[in-house]
């Protein structure tokens, strides 16, 4: 197997010339090599208890019981579709009952049955400082004491906007919204308004939220559930969306030959995180920039996941490619609902009330999310933060890979900054078609074995995993020991 090529990165400085801000990317695939496996340590079990009885933070083991979670799921299905408020939480692709979470602190989450897990979901990315970080909690409490929402401008909105614009060289102005779906939907509307064109180009397996034109070939929960699109999306909408394989510049060039004059924008996750973690191939992002420039098509980076996760300044800073528009979310809200889209001043001035392209939101820039986001960004701006995150993700990715190689399990692991992924596939994994070749049966066995050992991963083979600053060396060691046990079990699946 081949190793995915790393981008040429100066690790001593980021694109702003500041030290300690850029995290390298790594990708590892199975190789013939010897590895001395650490001795196994089985997880300690705790008796099930009521939701209020929270186990100590140094306990990582899972109780065999899920009595409370099963009861809560039965209750939830009576009033909530499928019992959950986002489909992937239902454990549909891995089977079983999702743990109902009652609290979290640092790198650990605790469920209603008294089980404690080391968490690599991190609320799907936002919890980069760890759960319930004291500075974030203090900021939110202080903001809430002054009022939870005003529907009017606040100074905090200016402060966080200034920080985002300073961090991302491509962003001169930014508009805050409440979700990543709002951000991508609004950025595409702006692209259409600015260019006068209707069609958009996206990549298979890249998830950009659930607005009508973007559910074509989406990854994430859509892929997890095996849904090709969605009822309720008119065919006329999907005809305006062209989808191509990720990391395939020749396909992009071909699409522009036929549709170039009609394409308002190309939207891409610069590091795909919704088909697992798939880095861009050498020259892919640069090639998109060049093709878009040639055809006066806007390039949108969906950095809802990668923004302030893989580097200070996001993937565009890591790979040194400037998009026209950027979508942000997750980390910038510090664990509260917040997202944004921004870009060149001439484009952003077309957004109402400065221009004719309409977008609005009742809770956009609400003071609680702004307070949490500001504190989070201030912590992330400190020197050395992204090196620490990258080292943790790399240790997990390479450690799991070595154990899989020693056991003889076909596995490909990847890591970029503070995110990583794994595929039960010999690799390389370059796009959604490659990702879909991975063994879902082996992933299911691995997932449940990890859960039994007290390790909480996303319940889907099509999701990235996230490390936080709160994950300790002990957490990583425990995770790798658990992975050895889980890989042994997965190896029995044929």
Domain boundaries, the chain: 25-132+384-490, 134-380
Q: Check pLDDT > 60 for residue 427.
A: yes
Q: What mean pLDDT is reported for the chain?
A: 87
Integer Cα distance of 174 and 165 in angstroms: 7
Length of the chain equals: 494
- Mean per-residue pLDDT, 39-62: 38
Q: What pairing do the DSSP bridges indicate for beta strands 465-466 and 298-303?
A: unpaired
- Mean per-residue pLDDT, 306-326: 98
CB-count exposure of residue 33 (10 Å: 0-12, 13-18, 19+): exposed
Q: Tokens 């991302």 identify what position?
A: 168
pLDDT band at 211 (very low <50, low <70, confident <90, very high): confident
pTM: 0.86
Q: Which residues contact 236 (CB under 8 A, 6 or more apart)?
A: none
Class assignment of domain 134-380? Answer: alpha beta
Q: Check pLDDT > 60 for residue 227.
A: no
Q: What is the pLDDT of residue 309?
A: 98
Torsional sign, CA 221, 227, 233, 238: positive
Summarised one tens digit per residue, pLDDT across range 321-338 is: 999 999 999 999 999 999
**Residues 316 and 342 sit within 8 Å (Cβ to Cβ):** no
Integer Cα distance of 23 and 315 in angstroms: 10
Q: What is the pLDDT of residue 40?
A: 33
Summarised one tens digit per residue, pLDDT across range 369-400 is: 999 999 999 999 999 999 999 999 999 999 99
Does residue 352 sit in helix, strand or coil? coil
Indicate the helix (H) or strand (E) that contains 4: none
Integer Cα distance of 338 and 161 in angstroms: 12
Cβ–Cβ contacts within 10 Å for residue 494, how many?
Answer: 6
Peptide bond into 353 cis (omega under 30): yes
Q: Which residues contact 431 (CB under 8 A, 6 or more apart)?
A: 203, 204, 205, 245, 246, 247, 248, 275, 278
Q: Check pLDDT > 80 for residue 217.
A: no
- Does CATH number 1.10.540.10 belong to domain 25-132+384-490? no
Q: What is the pLDDT of residue 490?
A: 98
Lowest mean pLDDT among 208-212, 217-221, 329-333: 217-221
Q: What is the pLDDT of residue 350?
A: 98
The pLDDT > 90 percentage for the chain reads 79
Summarised one tens digit per residue, pLDDT across range 81-106 is: 999 999 899 998 899 999 999 999 99
Cβ–Cβ contacts within 10 Å for residue 312, how many?
Answer: 25
Integer Cα distance of 277 and 466 in angstroms: 10
Lowest mean pLDDT among 201-215, 349-363, 387-401, 456-470: 201-215
- Mean per-residue pLDDT, 173-202: 97
Residues with catalytic roles: 207, 302, 330
Q: Name the DSSP class of 231.
A: T
Q: Check pLDDT > 80 for residue 401.
A: yes
Q: What is the pLDDT of residue 235?
A: 78
């Amino acid at each position: 197997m081949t190793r995915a090529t790393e981008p040429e990165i100066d690790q001593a400085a980021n694109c702003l010339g500041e030290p300690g801000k850029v995290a390298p990317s790594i990708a590892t695939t199975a190789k013939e090599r010897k590895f001395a496996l650490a001795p196994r340590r089985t997880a300690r079990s705790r008796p099930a208890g009521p939701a209020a009885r929270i186990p100590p933070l140094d306990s990582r083991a899972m109780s065999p019981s899920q009595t409370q979670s099963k009861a809560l799921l039965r209750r939830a299905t009576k009033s909530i579709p499928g019992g959950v408020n986002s489909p992937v939480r239902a454990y549909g692709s891995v089977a079983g009952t999702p743990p109902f979470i009652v609290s979290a602190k640092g790198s650990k989450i605790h469920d209603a049955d008294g089980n404690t897990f080391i968490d690599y979901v991190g609320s799907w990315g936002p919890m980069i400082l760890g759960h319930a970080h004291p500075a974030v909690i203090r900021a939110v409490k202080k903001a809430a004491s002054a009022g939870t929402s005003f529907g009017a401008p606040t100074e905090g909105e200016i402060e966080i906007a200034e920080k985002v614009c300073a961090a991302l060289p491509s962003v001169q102005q930014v508009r805050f919204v409440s979700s990543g779906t709002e951000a991508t939907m609004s950025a595409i509307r702006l692209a259409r308004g600015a260019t006068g064109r209707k069609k958009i180009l996206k990549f298979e397996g890249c998830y950009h939220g659930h607005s009508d034109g973007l559910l074509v070939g989406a990854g994430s929960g859509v892929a997890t559930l095996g849904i090709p699109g969605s009822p309720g999306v008119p065919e006329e909408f999907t005809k305006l969306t062209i989808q191509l394989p990720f990391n395939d510049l020749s396909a992009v060039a071909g699409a522009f030959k036929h549709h170039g004059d009609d394409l308002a924008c190309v939207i891409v996750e610069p590091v795909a995180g919704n088909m697992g973690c798939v880095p861009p191939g050498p020259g892919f992002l640069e090639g998109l920039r060049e093709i878009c420039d040639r055809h006066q098509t806007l390039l949108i980076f969906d950095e809802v996941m990668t923004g302030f996760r893989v580097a200070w300044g996001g993937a565009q800073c890591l790979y040194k490619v400037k998009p026209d528009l950027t979508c942000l979310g997750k980390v910038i809200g510090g664990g509260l609902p917040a997202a944004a889209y921004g870009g060149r001043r001439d484009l952003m001035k077309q957004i109402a009330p400065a221009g004719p392209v309409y977008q609005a939101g009742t809770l956009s820039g609400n003071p609680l999310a702004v307070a949490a986001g500001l504190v989070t960004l201030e912590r992330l701006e400190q020197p050395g933060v992204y090196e620490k995150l990258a080292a943790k993700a790399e240790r997990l990715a390479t450690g799991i890979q070595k154990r899989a190689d020693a056991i003889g399990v076909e596995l490909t692991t990847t890591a970029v900054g503070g995110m990583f992924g794994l595929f039960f596939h010999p690799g390389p994994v370059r796009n959604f078609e490659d990702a879909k070749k991975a063994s879902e049966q082996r992933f299911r066995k691995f997932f449940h074995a990890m859960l039994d050992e007290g390790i909480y991963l996303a319940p889907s083979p099509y999701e990235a995993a996230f490390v936080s600053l709160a994950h300790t060396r002990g957490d990583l060691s425990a995770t790798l020991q658990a992975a050895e046990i889980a890989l042994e079990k997965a190896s029995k699946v044929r």
